[in-house]
Structure 1
């Protein structure tokens, strides 16, 4: 099969209504290399870059409340910094570049996607860009 590994997608395909930072950027732990009292940060298997993660809230009004918050993994040699908060907004809008989705079967036996990105930045077109006419379903955006 031609599709193997991470599948390149656009930010608008994953978050057609935009998304908001709702957590801190944190280092992802390498559970195999870490030992009791010794933290080892995870590295991407393909690129070797350090892996960070940030919780974001999907702004899609049709997403179920239990699926609104998604962890996005960021590949970067240094800890990424979220965009500056915007006045009069309770959460900080964010966009990602160089997005990939890796499908997998989660613990409940359902199809889910691990979302990885290379860059995090402020939206280019204001707080949240309007959804495009073609809506791509984002159900099952669980992450590994």
Structure 2
């Protein structure tokens, strides 16, 4: 098959009305790992790179999104916690644009009827309009 499991997708395709960071970027807990003596669990690591996994909750700005699609989780595989752009908007949520966004469709059968849902991964994020394209050099000011 020509399409990989996780495929690249433009930020504008996934979030045509914008994406808004809600809360913080947090480590992904590895629930498959053994509990530590204090009851906590270690941070999950990416199966391909071995890097720690981080996640954030994003509000999809699409008015047509259903209530189950409004809050989206985006994960990052990175050695250090990704830092979001500064919120210069009057909103309580930070507008963001994802760089190196990839999507993975899956069947969510946790509701009354199964539906197609999406898992998102990104390399980084920036303020809208300031994201350098993957593989392109960043503009120097």
The interval holding the TM-score normalised by the smaller chain is 0.7 to 0.9
Aligned residues between the structures: 125
Contact 2:102-2:121 at 8 Å conserved across structures: yes
77, 81, 101: which is aligned to 2:103?
A: 101
The 4+ residue runs of structure 1 with deviation greater than 3 A are: none
Aligned residue number for residue 16 of structure 1 = 16
Contact 2:27-2:43 at 8 Å conserved across structures: yes
RMSD of aligned residue pairs (Cα, Å): 1.6
Deviations 1:88-115 (A, max 9, x none): 2232101110011111111232211110
Aligned residue number for residue 122 of structure 2 = 117
Larger-gyration structure (1/2): 2
Aligned residue number for residue 31 of structure 2 = 31
Deviation, 1:87, is 4.2
Aligned residue number for residue 3 of structure 1 = 3
Q: Name stretches of at least 5 consecutive residues in structure 1 with no aligned partner.
A: 126-144
Deviation, 1:39, is 2.0
- Structure with bigger RCO (C-alpha 8 Å, 6+ apart): 1
Aligned residue number for residue 142 of structure 1 = none
47, 54, 57: which is aligned to 1:55?
A: 57
